[in-house]
Amino acid sequence: KILMALSILAVVYDITSTVHAMQLSYQQGGNVWSYLGGKSSRNIITWHALDVFTHLASLAWILVWFHLLWLCEYRTDEPYPQSPSQLAPVESEARLYTGWMYFSMAIFLLVGLRSYQQMKYHSGLRVFHTLFRLAYRDILEFLTFVISVVVVLCAALFSIFMISGGNSRFSVFSRGLSSMARLSFGFFEYEAFTNEGNGLGDYHVAVVLFFWLSVVLLVLVVQNTLLAIFSRAYEEAKKNNTDKDSTFLLYALHDC
């Protein structure tokens, strides 16, 4: 309860800071949408929008915790369930608690992502903040190409293995998408992909061709393109950063 009390105080302080920033934006002639959208309306996700989304998610997280706290206090006076009808509400509450725990992990992830924007205030870490800002638009555009390639390849393999029944990894479309994503990062082997051509007879070579086509598109093209995008953005970020003595770890070790 002490940790939750501290978390609630932190959320309240965070929300107060955001409300104050929105008031300043309103006093400068802006509105809620201009505050959320930032300077450019082309941005799909902005730091301010992420802040507000985190606040709403945190409030929902706190409300669910209060509900679980009330259920725990309510259940302490009841006897241990002796029948399926008595056990059903307990199971429902247990599922809610499990979901709340996973929701907590997502909240902590959002809070961690928000701390990334503070890197721009340090001259050395500003390079990495600028890196992702410069590569953001190119990654979104390239992601459209990647998704289309993965869907087309997975649809073709799904059709082949639905007819032959030769590979259970592609018999379900969502499972096939997961397999193709693993292949793009080298976590899906040739033997698992082809499955020795089971069910294809003399046409097993088609699966082999699809494997190498997938390797060329998802491994060679995708990975090298991402590397090129980040390399160009990193060079530009380093060029824009004029501070030479800005190593964060050296400063930290010196202070220690």
Are residue 241 and residue 151 in the same domain, yes or no? yes
Contacts of 173 (CB under 8 A, 6+ apart): 154, 155, 158
One domain for residues 135 and 86: no
Residues 175 and 236 in one domain: yes
Cα dist from 41 to 19, 37, 78, 144, whole Å: 21, 6, 55, 20
Encode the chain (256 residues) as per-residue pLDDT tens digits. 788 888 889 888 888 888 888 888 777 777 777 777 765 555 556 778 888 888 999 999 999 988 888 877 766 666 666 666 766 777 788 888 899 999 999 988 888 888 777 777 777 777 887 888 888 888 888 888 888 888 888 888 788 777 777 778 877 788 888 888 888 888 888 888 888 777 776 777 888 888 898 889 888 888 899 899 999 988 888 887 766 555 555 544 444 4
Across 212-247, b (16+ Cβ under 10 Å) vs e yields: eebbebbeeebeeebeebbeebbeebeeeeeeeeee
Q: Are residues 24 and 145 in the same domain?
A: no
- Amino acid 136: pLDDT: 82
Return all residues near 165 (Cβ < 8 A) that are at least 6 apart: 171, 199
How far is Cα 201 from Cα 205, in angstroms, rounded to an integer? 9
Question: Residue 93's domain spans which residues?
Answer: 2-119
Cβ–Cβ < 8 Å for 36, 49: yes
217 half-sphere exposure, CB direction, 13 A CA radius: 19
Last residue of a domain, one of 119, 146, 169: 119
Whether residue 111 is found in the same domain as residue 78: yes
For residues 251 and 130, membership in a common domain is answered with yes
Q: Tens digit of pLDDT for each residue in 119-131?
A: 777 777 778 878 8
68 and 51 fall within a common domain: yes
**C-alpha 40 chain-centroid distance:** 23
Residues 111 and 173 in one domain: no
Q: By the 8 A CB rule, do 149 and 180 touch?
A: no
pLDDT (0 to 100) of residue 253: 47
Residue 44 phi, psi dihedral angles, 5° rounding? -75, -45
Choosing from 119, 151, 181, the residue where a domain stops is 119
Same domain, 47 and 86: yes
Same domain, 247 and 134: yes
Residues 151 and 198 in one domain: yes
169 shares its domain with 115: no
Would you state the pLDDT for residue 43? 57
| Cα 36 to Cα 47: distance, rounded to the nearest angstrom | 8
pLDDT value at residue 252: 47
pTM: 0.62
pLDDT of residue 102: 92
| Burial class for 31, CB neighbours closer than 10 Å (0-12, 13-18, 19+) | exposed
Rg of the chain, C-alpha, whole Å: 26
- Token pair belonging to 74: 């309510």
- Is the CB of residue 129 less than 8 Å from the CB of residue 119? yes
Quote the pLDDT of residue 39: 57
Counting the structural domains of the chain, the total is 2
Backbone angles phi, psi at 204, to 5 degrees: -65, -20
pLDDT, residue 82, reads: 65
Q: What is the pLDDT of residue 254?
A: 46
Phi, psi for 76 (deg, rounded to 5): -65, -25
Kindly report, residue by residue over 71-107, the tens digit of the pLDDT.
777 666 666 666 667 667 777 888 888 999 999 999 8
| Domain end among 86, 101, 119 | 119
